[in-house]
Amino acid sequence: MAERTVAVASRVGLHARPAMLFTQAVAASGVPVTIARAGGAPVDAASILFVMSLGVPHGEEVTLTADGPDADRVLDELVTLLSTDLDASEADAAGGAS
């Protein structure tokens, strides 16, 4: 079983758009992935409801685990996704339209 820890970079944490993009990436990977806050129980990372229910704020570290032949590659891709501010393009676009 592979495991990675990453700080959530999105300024709103894992809510709304960042949670949607993350769970879609997990589902598309075809690999079972869980996500957990420090000291918390892991939940299915492909479920937007479970991910949003964690209430992960900006900057908090989460632990991802996966099992399978592509687990390391998938986790590396998910770490890259979570370490990016997934709200930046939306916020910048709104700021630029003013």
Q: What is the pTM of this model?
A: 0.88
Residues 42-96 pLDDT 10s: 999 999 999 999 999 999 999 999 999 999 999 999 999 999 998 876 545 445 4
User: What per-residue confidence (pLDDT) applies to 54?
Assistant: 97
User: Is residue 64 in a domain?
Assistant: yes
**Can you say whether the dihedral through the CA atoms of 83, 86, 89, 92 is positive or negative?**
negative
CATH of the domain at 80: 3.30.1340.10
Tokens of 39: 């000291």
User: What per-residue confidence (pLDDT) applies to 88?
Assistant: 74
Tell me which residue range forms the domain holding 66.
2-84
Residues tagged active-site: 15
What's the total number of domains in the chain?
Answer: 1
Reference 21, options 55, 45, 5; nearest CA is 45
